[in-house]
Chains A and B, each alone.
Chain A
Amino acid sequence: MISESELIERARSFDLAALAEIYDHYSPGIYRYALHLLGDPQQAEDCTAETFTRYLQGVRSGGGPQDHLQAYLYRIAHNQITDVYRRQPPPPLPLFDDVSGADQEPIQTVVERIEKEQVRAALVHLTPDQRQVIVLRYLEGLENEMVALALEKPVGAIKSLQHRAIDALRRMLVPQKEEIYGETE
């Protein structure tokens, strides 16, 4: 595969092969990101389509990224999702039923599902910024530097958001877990 910078350069001259590769390479991640935050496959597809349309518009108007294309695309998606959140409260992060775990003990499946439900419910109470950081960092696996570029915030701010999010989750989840499971350390 050619370098990202060359791919970006070729895309700027509307090289369809380069654009196709960009779509193939980055659209699955953008879709997943949108799906995690919007909770609906149709909305996620539309967010993905809009992200790439805006990217093309950026390229056409002489803008578009010079580097860090992935972060640029996440940033466009992030802005759209933020707009949605302004109009309506964020949905609970979707819990995708994993029906493939045939090798897992039955009760383990139930317990895991319950745990996921708890985390999902807790995430609703994070601020939109915290949620986006958590999704990019933990669900999409981006490094802090890339999350910072995507959200147009300093790395320090990302770390701070992440810390506060984890802290908030701990406060929400840990007492609950103790109460429910009767844990004694």
Chain B
Amino acid sequence: MVKPNKREDANIEKLLGKLNDAPARDPQAQAHGRARFLAQAKALAKSQPTAPAVSREEEVRHTGRNENFFERILNTMKLQNRFTALAVVAAVIVIAAFVASNITTVSAQQIITRATAAQTLPTQGIWHTQIQVYQNHTMLAGNHPGTTTIDDDYSDLTNGEYRSVTQDSAGKIIQVAAYDGTYNYSGLQAAGNAGTDPLKVTRVKAGPDQKAKTGSIDPVGSFKALFDDFRNNPRVRVDSQKTWTDGTPVYVLVDDNFQSQKGVDGATYTGSMRMVFNSKTYQLIESQTTVRNGDQDIVIDEVQWLVDEVLPTGSPMAWDLSDLKDINIVDEAQPATQDNPTFETLTEQQLATHTKSFYVLQPLPAGYTEKIVAVTDQPKDQDYGFEVNYTGPNGETFGLQAVGKMEPGFVESNFYDGSYKAASGLMINYSPSHSGGGTSAMLTAPDGNSFLLTSSLPREQVQNLMETLMKGQ
């Protein structure tokens, strides 16, 4: 007989296994990461003979990081993603209930994409939202036994300044994040620490590029996209227009699933979801997810937009959090100068203004797309670094990364697994290290410049493409 603990442990291990469904990595971010890594490798390779003389400070500069980088990134992330996160938080929370309708696939990613796309519309002013979030994911019965927090957020859509303050149900500040144009602020109360100590908030000087990251958002458009997505789901019924508690005319969208089914544990559940939109602005006022357990309807998620408004530009605002009483702002050490690369996408014509040595596929094979990326603000006295990447209709890749002129013998000693010379004079030397049927090679132009070639295609197809590589101009 299996002991109860053993059986339970096996069940827990099974549950843990269900958590491994991480979403796919953004391929563009991965490509940038890869390009940055190889560019760093190339730079370090050139400096290798004198490398041991590098000081700690230089090392920090080399990496573009410092001890505070996660907090800086957190702040930057909040600035960049906060708009999206706010606009779609309800969708993210409740999307499972909607897709559960199984009839119309409502993709959370689609909603996020649409909401994000809506943000490209320029607006001005200070966007103010106040959102109350109630969570009871353990399905406790009773009168609101879960946790309630209130997020009070302001974002200046013209210069990127923002502040976000989260309080618990007792009014205690448990999380802040802000950017006042000079400094980033962040503080988060430790889980389970409900003490009376002021929240420690770290202040660190913002990077030089942060001001460029201004927000621009159309919250109305974002919510309209949400409304359309849900309304178009045939499982969702739209209650006739009603009046909300504050007199606002609203649409109430409800997805009821009264079909009783057995859960994995043998229990029977009914899930339902309700969303309330302002019928004029399509602003999402409330969303609520309920699970029926026995004869009880238990609210497991509830999100309420208490405030959603755009204040005039220049409205007085304590972006530096100086109005908050129960926080303790502490300065972090000054970040070291950083050279964290940023990337830009170029056209062939733009690339030609930087270098005369680059090659592109001409004509572009049917179904292929071309993307040229380069690090911004490259030193003038060094070879211009860039990548020309192609993606085929079936996801196949073919990319060239400029690596300059290699030292004599480097190519022969490292890419020794065969070679091929195209009619144009381009020479390719294959690397023995490749996997999955792909190709790694070094391509050398007649002028001596080299390009690291990586492709998901086998060598024969790479060679065919090589014959169509023409010098760009």
Instruction: Report A's interface with B, CB cutoff 8 A.
Output: 1-2, 6-7, 10, 13-21, 23-25, 27-28, 31-32, 35-36, 40-43, 45-50, 52-54, 56-57, 59-62, 80, 83-84, 87-90, 93, 95-99, 101-102, 104-121, 124-125, 134, 138-141, 166, 169-170, 173-174, 176-177, 180-183, 185
Considering the complex, which residues of chain B in the window 139-171 have a beta carbon less than 8 Å from any beta carbon of chain A?
A: 139-140
Cα-based distance from A49 to B31 in the complex (angstroms) = 11
Instruction: Among B16, B37, B45, point to the contact of A49 (Cβ < 8 A).
Output: B37
Check A43 against B19 for contact (C-beta < 8 Å).
no
In the complex, which residues of chain B have a beta carbon less than 8 angstroms from the beta carbon of A170?
5, 8-9, 12
Cβ-defined contact, B96 with A28, below 8 A: no
Provide a sorted-by-A list of 26 A–B residue pairs whose CB atoms are within 8 angstroms.
Answer: A17-B441, A19-B37, A24-B435, A24-B454, A31-B30, A36-B19, A46-B73, A56-B37, A59-B44, A60-B47, A62-B52, A87-B70, A89-B190, A97-B92, A97-B108, A99-B99, A102-B99, A105-B102, A106-B261, A112-B18, A118-B15, A119-B15, A125-B192, A140-B20, A173-B15, A185-B4
Judging by beta carbons under 8 Å apart, are B36 and A49 in contact?
Answer: yes
Question: Is B106 in the interface zone, CB < 8 Å from A?
Answer: yes
Known: A23-B37, A46-B69, A97-B92. A16 touches B452 (CB 8 A): yes
State whether the Cβ of B100 lies closer than 8 Å to any Cβ in chain A. Answer: yes
What are the 7 closest A-B residue pairs judged by CB atoms, nearest first? A14-B45, A106-B100, A17-B431, A107-B261, A1-B435, A117-B137, A111-B263
Looking at the assembled complex, report how far the CB atom of A115 sits from the nearest CB atom of chain B, in whole angstroms.
6
A42 engages B80 (CB within 8 Å): yes
A108, B109: Cα distance in complex, Å: 21
User: CB distance A173 to B12 under 8 Å?
Assistant: yes
* Contact pick for B138, options A19, A121, A169, CB 8 Å: A121
CB neighbours of A14 from chain B (8 A): 41-42, 44-45, 48
**B102 with A106: CB separation less than 8 A:** yes
Contacts of A89 in B (CB 8 A): 188-191
Does A17 lie within 8 Å of B415, measured CB to CB? yes
B452 contacts which of A20, A59, A113, A185 (Cβ < 8 Å)?
A20
Residues of B within 8 A of A140 (CB): 20
Measured CA separation A51–B137 after assembly (Å): 34
Q: Point out the residues of chain A lying under 8 angstroms from B264, CB to CB.
A: 108, 111-112, 115
Majority DSSP secondary structure for residues of A touching B: helix
In the bound assembly, the distance between CA atoms of A106 and B291 in angstroms comes to: 13
Q: Is B305 positioned at the interface, with any CB of A under 8 Å from its CB?
A: no
Stretch at the interface among B58-66, B218-226, B378-386: B58-66
A11 to B224, CA, bound (A): 51
How many angstroms between the C-alpha atoms of A38 and B245 in the bound complex? Answer: 39
Q: Provide the bound-state CA to CA distance between A139 and B18, in Å.
A: 8
Whether B366 sits at the interface, judged by CB under 8 Å, is no
Cα–Cα distance between A31 and B188 once the two chains are bound (Å): 24
B261 touches A108 (CB 8 A): yes
Q: Given A28-B25, A106-B102, check contact A116 B18 (CB 8 Å).
A: yes
Contact residue among B63, B80, B96, B414 (Cβ-Cβ distance under 8 Å from A50): B63
> Which of chain A's residues have a CB closer than 8 A to the CB of B371?
none
B297 at the interface (CB under 8 A from A): no
Q: Is the CB of A36 within 8 A of B73?
A: no
Q: Which chain A residues lie closer than 8 Å to B435 at the CB level?
A: 1, 21, 24-25
Report the separation of the CA atoms of residues A25 and B34 in the bound assembly, to the nearest whole angstrom: 11
Residues in chain A near residue B15, CB distance under 8 A: 115-116, 118-119, 173
CB distance from B63 to the nearest CB of A (A): 5
Contact B63 A176 (CB under 8 A): no
The one of B19, B73, B269, B440 in contact with A17, judged by C-beta atoms closer than 8 angstroms, is B440
Residues of B within 8 A of A52 (CB): 33, 37
> A-B pairs with CB below 8 Å: how many?
268
Contact yes or no, B70 A46, CB < 8 A = yes
CB-CB contacts below 8 Å: B367-393 with A: none
Contact of B22 among A16, A36, A110 (CB under 8 A): A36
Q: In this complex, what residue of A is CB-closest to B51?
A: A60
Cβ distance A13 to chain B, nearest Cβ, rounded Å: 7
CB-CB nearest in chain A for B440: A17
A87, A95, A98, A107 — most chain B CB neighbours (10 Å): A107
- A23 contacts B38, C-beta separation under 8 Å: yes
Inside 8 A of A141's CB, which chain B residues have their CB? 20
Interchain CB contact under 8 A, B23 and A1: no
Q: Give, as a whole number of angstroms, the nearest-CB distance from B121 to chain A.
A: 23
Docked complex: B77-133 residues within 8 A CB-CB of A: 77, 80-81, 92, 95-97, 99-102, 105-109
Judge whether A166 and B12 touch: CB under 8 Å. yes
The residue of chain A having its C-beta at the shortest distance from the C-beta of B95 within the complex is A97
Q: What is the minimal beta-carbon distance from B104 to any residue of chain A, in angstroms?
A: 10
Looking at the assembled complex, report how far the CB atom of A103 sits from the nearest CB atom of chain B, in whole angstroms: 9
Contact status B403-A118, CB under 8 Å? no
Q: Is the CB of A42 within 8 A of B269?
A: no
Q: Is there contact, CB below 8 Å, between A17 and B105?
A: no
Contact B37 A121 (CB under 8 A): no
Using known A-B contacts A93-B19, A99-B106, A116-B18, determine if residue A61 contacts B52 with beta carbons closer than 8 Å. yes
- Cβ-defined contact, A99 with B108, below 8 A: yes
Q: How far is the CA of A31 from the CA of B80 in the complex (A)?
A: 20
Assess whether B197 is interfacial by the CB under 8 Å rule.
no
A59 to chain B, nearest CB (A): 8
Which residue of chain B has the shortest Cβ distance to A170 in the bound complex?
Answer: B8
B29 interfacial contact with A, CB 8 Å:
yes
